[in-house]
Amino acid sequence: SARWAGRLILDNPRADLLLAQLGVAATPSNAEGSQAGRGALRVTLDGTQSQGFATDGALTLQEGYLSAAGNVVPGGTVALPTISFKGTAIAETPDLGGLAALLARPLADEASGVAAKVNGDLSFDTVKGQATIEDFSGQLGSSIYSGRLAVKSCGPERPVISGRLAIDQANVASMQ
């Protein structure tokens, strides 16, 4: 099959509008208390449909970033496309509460100003409805954690999460 190489860059002065362009629900930046800044998405790919595409991408927001690099294999049909990915991923935010609010998923007030970071080996397959992050490690506030998580989501039922998680400390006071 033919070799493809390309680069896509989306940049928007309003992160909420960029996220909406990507199909992600976000709180409008004109909502009370919202201060979403600029958002940018960069994706590069190189490869063939049969062998997959070496892919590198980053989503950067005022509230944090997500980057991933690996191999993407497209499939399916135009009406029902599928995709699988295997690679590494890093996500970081200086303010977990602010990121959650931007994504219209508000957290408890204790999450405001709490930094979070995670990195690991990520794989997902839309045919299987499964995503796994292996050998991940990260930090949530002052707690350091590591482990493996898998999410299986098929049909209208709630996703099933399995795995293991090791954490050095937990703030029990904030769980009340």
Q: For 27-47, what is each residue's pLDDT tens digit?
A: 776 655 456 678 899 999 999
Q: For the CA atoms of the chain, what is the radius of gyration?
A: 18
Average pLDDT of the residues of the chain: 86
Question: Of the given ranges (23-32, 51-60, 82-91, 124-133), which has the lowest mean pLDDT?
Answer: 23-32
Does the structure show a pLDDT above 50 at 176? Answer: no
Other residues' Cβ atoms within 10 Å of the Cβ of residue 18: 22
Does the structure show a pLDDT above 60 at 4? Answer: yes
Give residue 175's pLDDT. Answer: 42
Percent of the residues in the chain that have a pLDDT greater than 70, as a whole number: 91
Distance CA 17, CA 34 (A): 13
Distance CA 125, CA 155 (A): 14
Residue 115 exposed, middle or buried by CB count within 10 Å (0-12, 13-18, 19+): middle
